[in-house]
Chains A and B, each alone.
Chain A
Amino acid sequence: MDIEKEKLLGMYRMMVRIRTFEEQLAKDFADGKIPGFLHLSVGQEANPAGMCANLRADDIITTNHRGHGHVIAKGGNQYSLAPLIAEIYGKKTGLNKGKAGSQHLSDLDIGVLVAEGIQGTTLTLAVGAALTAKLKGTGQVAVAFIGDGTLNTGRFHEGMNMASAWKLPLICYVENNLYAESTSIYDSTNLTDLIDRATAFNVSGVSIDGNDVIAVYEAAAEAVARARKGEGVTFIEAKTCRQRGHFEGDPQAYRTREQRDECLKMDPIPRFRTKLIEIGAFTEQEIDIIHQEALTEVAEAVKFALESPDPSPEEVLTDVYA
């Protein structure tokens, strides 16, 4: 597949923005500046970047507790990071007025329907969005970003079955980062290939290297084309790796130092950088500028969040009902 230069650079920029954003959050969390929990997707950035590069502005995604990257990627490279960081800081200027936090960032204006912390509703809500698209004939696609652990939920099975039975324009994008919190999917199922789950629902299934943004982009392009043509559901298993713990502060006693080093070797960002330079698309200097710009953008977003007021206590009572 020939991918235009602008698109390649856009995906690289996206991965770097997500990484820079989350590395900043890791620091701020360690410094005690962020309330609640923080689940980072460092190492998994190729997945949102490659998938969302194929989506229209009006396509719908749903995500989970590890969703920063999905929101940023759906919003695109022009989408401001400031309201996101402000939300994670719990500020009045936050994307969701300080009522969501890191785990529940959403913005339907850019097609991010929900970020669900209860696994599986990520998928069933995307089924509903895909149903709307089909009934209204809008040509929209819905993408549910779920983790490998969600494959064990009843909601996954009910949602996949329903979407397949109704031939909905849905993509179930599984980021297999090897751990559901501390438990491997291979210890909690009798599967060796997660793609076998697709067979059970008679939907298209593909297993890809989720640390290679080009592989992600190509699989996503096919799945989106299939969905838009009315050919139904695609199940994508993207093998990726979570470089950090389940949550910030997780000592990760459940995996060895060697496993963690393996994970770092698969890092999608240096890998893509090398490729971009190899194919002669970009110079080192051009790429360094992207990193520099991301640092500046994130620093400005943090400044905005720090200068923002806390929500006022009256806000507790608003937004319960429409």
Chain B
Amino acid sequence: MPLIDYANPTRFLAFSARVLPWLAAATAVLLVAGLWLSFFASPADYQQGETVRIMYIHVPSAWLSMFGYGVMAVAALGTLVWRHPLADVTAKAAAPLGAAFTFLALVTGSLWGKPMWGTWWVWDARLTSELVLLIMYLGLIALWQAVDDFGRAARVVAVLTLVGSINIPIIKFSVDWWNTLHQGESIFRAGGPTIDAGMLKALFTMTAAMTLLYVVLLFSAMGNEIMRRRADQMEALAAGEGG
């Protein structure tokens, strides 16, 4: 079956019911392996000591805060260009997840920054643009709640999502474009990573585990949203027939 055929709510529900148990099991295995690597099989940093272990949850959270917005931006195109109902559902389900991972990136970054930089917060480009991302997520969630008509809400949210996507490259390249307290790129950079191989293994495993968890949560939340819309339509139909 072509991939596009799964972009039908009923087929998506059947597909998601089949793959979710496997994805959830893979997430659990990767999470256990990642935590073991993070705490017992990776070295302490020569400067930061044990505090470097915060990196194994901070970096995946920061990655998912941007990846989640990317998912919403693609869904926004699906809404505006193809007016596809599954795109609307994806955008609505992804917003709270993105907000949660952005919140985690900010909080774990702050808990890492205090012992290393001597401050919980600084208004540098990376931290400020990440905070703007959280505000954008919260604004989009509020917009979904504020507009009653689902289709109209989806179109308004889609336009604002695409406008806000300009913030993603700003977050990514902020450490190159401006002089920030936040460290520069240390993994995907010309000349190779500047991180110890043992730390990289833990970091990649935790990133894979948390990304899989994001996919499990997204698929589940999308399924819930499809069922909510069906129940709403059925209630409206019953109210119409009864009136």
Chain B binds chain A: no
Give the interface of A toward B (CB within 8 A). Answer: none
